Amino acid sequence: MTARVALIGHPLRRRHSEMMHNAAFAHFGIDAVYELRDIEPNEVGGFVLETRGEDWLGFQITAPYKQVVMGHLDEIESGASRIGAVNSVVRDRGGRLVGFNTDAPGFRRAIEIELDVEVPGLSAVVAGAGGAARAVVDALVDGGAELVSVGNRTPGRAESLAADFGPAVIAVDLGPAFSTALAGADLAVNATTVGMHAPGAAFDVGALPQDAAVYDLVYEPAETPLLAAARARGLRTANGLGMLVAQAEIAFERWTGVRNAGTVMRAAIEA
Ligand code: NAP
Residue 75 in this model has a pLDDT that exceeds 90: yes
d(CA 127, CA 214): 11
In three-state secondary structure terms, 126 is strand
Residue 13 in this model has a pLDDT that exceeds 90: no
Is residue 12 within 8 A of residue 64, CB to CB? The reply is no
Q: How far is C-alpha 71 from the geometric centre of its chain's CA atoms?
A: 21
Q: Is 219 in the pocket of ligand 1 (CB under 6 A)?
A: yes
How many CB atoms within 10 Å of residue 86?
27
**Ligand 1 site-directed mutation target among 12, 16, 174, 192, most atoms within 8 Å of CB:** 192
What local confidence, expressed as pLDDT, does residue 95 receive?
93
Q: Is 217 in the pocket of ligand 1 (CB under 6 A)?
A: yes
Beta bridge partners of 58: 5, 90
What local confidence, expressed as pLDDT, does residue 120 receive?
98
pLDDT digits (tens, 9 = 90+) for 39-54: 999 999 999 999 999 9
Band of residue 267 on the pLDDT scale cut at 50, 70, 90? very high
**Phi, psi values for residue 53, rounded to 5°:** -70, 155
d(CA 93, CA 232): 51
pLDDT digits (tens, 9 = 90+) for 206-227: 999 999 999 999 999 999 999 9
Q: Which one from 9, 17, 21, 66 is the annotated catalytic residue?
A: 66
d(CA 118, CA 33): 36
Considering only CA atoms, which of 111, 105, 97, 49 is closest in space to residue 239?
A: 111
For this structure, is 193 an active site residue? no
Residues whose CB is less than 8 angstroms from the CB of residue 198 and which lie 6 or more positions away in sequence, other chains included: 192
Q: Is 130 in the pocket of ligand 1 (CB under 6 A)?
A: yes
Question: What's the Rg (C-alpha) of the chain?
Answer: 19
Mean pLDDT of the chain: 97
d(CA 214, CA 180): 16
pLDDT digits (tens, 9 = 90+) for 227-262: 999 999 999 999 999 999 999 999 999 999 999 999
d(CA 253, CA 259): 5
**What is the mean predicted confidence (pLDDT) over 63-71?**
96
Residue 202 in this model has a pLDDT that exceeds 90: yes
- ∠ CA 93-251-148 to the nearest 5 degrees? 125
What local confidence, expressed as pLDDT, does residue 188 receive?
98
